[in-house]
Amino acid sequence: MSKRYRVVQYGIGPIGVSCLRTVLSKPSHLELVGVIDIDPLKVGKDIADVLGLPDKTGVIVSSNADEVLSTSRPDVVLHTTSSFLARMYDQLVLCASHGVNVVSSTEELSYPYHRHPAISAELDKVAKENGVTLLGTGVNPGYAMDALALMATGVCNDVKSITIHREVDAGLRRLPLQQKVGAGITTEQFAEKKATGMFGHIGLVESIRMIADGMGWSIDRVEEQLDPVVSDRIVETPFLTIQKGQVAGIHHHAYGYDGDELLITLDLKMFVGALNPRDEVVADSNPPMNLLVKGGIFGDTATVATLINNIPLVVEASPGLKTAKDVPLPRAFGTR
């Protein structure tokens, strides 16, 4: 019989809510002992009422993270508050200072060492001082375009380059994802959003850096490019209708170079009406490697699964700031 883990959910946006539903669906393996969120519409309510569940859980949403962590003594925090590390650094430090391990969906935490070296060093120090493990992960970044690619090369010699394709049919995903990729906007609106620098997928650079680190490769230049996928037909989703000529989604690609040598290529397409949804890793290697997840990994469900599945790994890991390449390979948890 496996250990039952005490869990606090920190952040109850869409991903947090899905995490909560999954935690509550595995009572033999997970016990929800606290929920933290700042939304005044949710604070003070039993989480069952927030989720629309018939039976009270006794777990009340609180905005006082310090108090929740002090009183509930969790094994792990499932942390789903922001994509950006600088915004939630204090939250991680607070969890660590209470001696609590963290699995976080924060994209920038999936491989923070390059973009945020000082914060990373500090988090690693705080984690070790408090004997806890901090892990940022998810399906992408954290799995589809980095960890899975590393794993694919695990049976290869002589890897010269790695190319990763992820094509996602945004039409099958939740509305926020469709909006996130710009489905239904005009190409002019796309250009405006792109100009803000706050548009597109977050994590390609982190994925390239994680792969390079895992492979022991030096990368001296990363190039990113973000283009619209323009729909060549009318496509309807349960939420939106995309007209011909409107934006269906994003084509976001990134390249990692060592000098003039292109070592890592990430090719991410997320758009409504994708015709060949898949995750594919191609390594120019001996033996050659072409790994395909048919249909692609369905992100909404998979992101939550990844967070949940890493709970035992994070609890068992040696202390420190870790990434998906540092912990044992993930596997489903609490399925029976």
State the first-to-last Cα distance of the chain, in angstroms, to the nearest integer.
Answer: 10
Is position 293 an interface residue for a second copy (rule: CB under 8 A)? yes
Contacting residue, 56, 87, 160, 233, with a second copy by CB under 8 A: 160
Contacting residue, 7, 20, 36, 148, with a second copy by CB under 8 A: 148
Query: 215 or 315, CB closer to a second copy?
Result: 215
Is position 309 an interface residue for a second copy (rule: CB under 8 A)? yes
How near is the Cβ of 287 to a second copy at its closest, in Å? 4
How near is the Cβ of 215 to a second copy at its closest, in Å? 6
**Who contacts 297 (Cβ-Cβ below 8 Å, separation ≥6)?**
139, 140, 143, 144, 279
The identity of residue 182, as a single letter, is G
Contacting residue, 84, 113, 239, 333, with a second copy by CB under 8 A: 333
How near is the Cβ of 217 to a second copy at its closest, in Å? 6
Is position 301 an interface residue for a second copy (rule: CB under 8 A)? yes
DSSP H or E run through 236:
strand 235-236
Neighbours of 194 (CB within 10 A): 16
> In terms of DSSP bridges, do strands 261-271 and 221-230 run parallel, antiparallel, or are they unpaired?
unpaired
DSSP H or E run through 281:
strand 278-286
Q: How far apart are CA 246 and CA 235, in angstroms?
A: 10
How near is the Cβ of 9 to a second copy at its closest, in Å? 16
Interface characters, 231-270, with a second copy (x: CB under 8 A): ---------------------------x------------
Contacting residue, 92, 297, 311, 314, with a second copy by CB under 8 A: 297
Is position 308 an interface residue for a second copy (rule: CB under 8 A)? yes
How near is the Cβ of 197 to a second copy at its closest, in Å? 29
Tokens of 287: 């033996």
Q: Tell which residue, 64, 34, 38, has the closest CA to residue 46.
A: 34
Interface characters, 196-235, with a second copy (x: CB under 8 A): ------------------xxxxx-----------------
Contacting residue, 104, 306, 311, 321, with a second copy by CB under 8 A: 306
Residue 260 region by backbone torsions, left for phi larger than 0, else alpha for psi between -120 and 50, else beta = alpha
Q: Tell which residue, 131, 142, 78, 133, has the closest CA to residue 108.
A: 142
Interface characters, 113-142, with a second copy (x: CB under 8 A): --------------------------x---
Is position 27 an interface residue for a second copy (rule: CB under 8 A)? no
Q: By the 8 A CB rule, do 86 and 106 touch? A: no
Q: Is 44 exposed, middle or buried (0-12, 13-18, 19+ CB in 10 A)?
A: exposed
Per-residue b/e over 108-126, b at no fewer than 16 CB within 10 Å? bbbbbbbebeebbeebbeb
Is position 151 an interface residue for a second copy (rule: CB under 8 A)? yes
- Which residue ranges make up the site for a second copy (CB under 8 A)? 2, 22, 139, 143-144, 147-148, 150-160, 214-218, 258, 283, 285-295, 297-298, 301-302, 304-306, 308-309, 318, 324-336
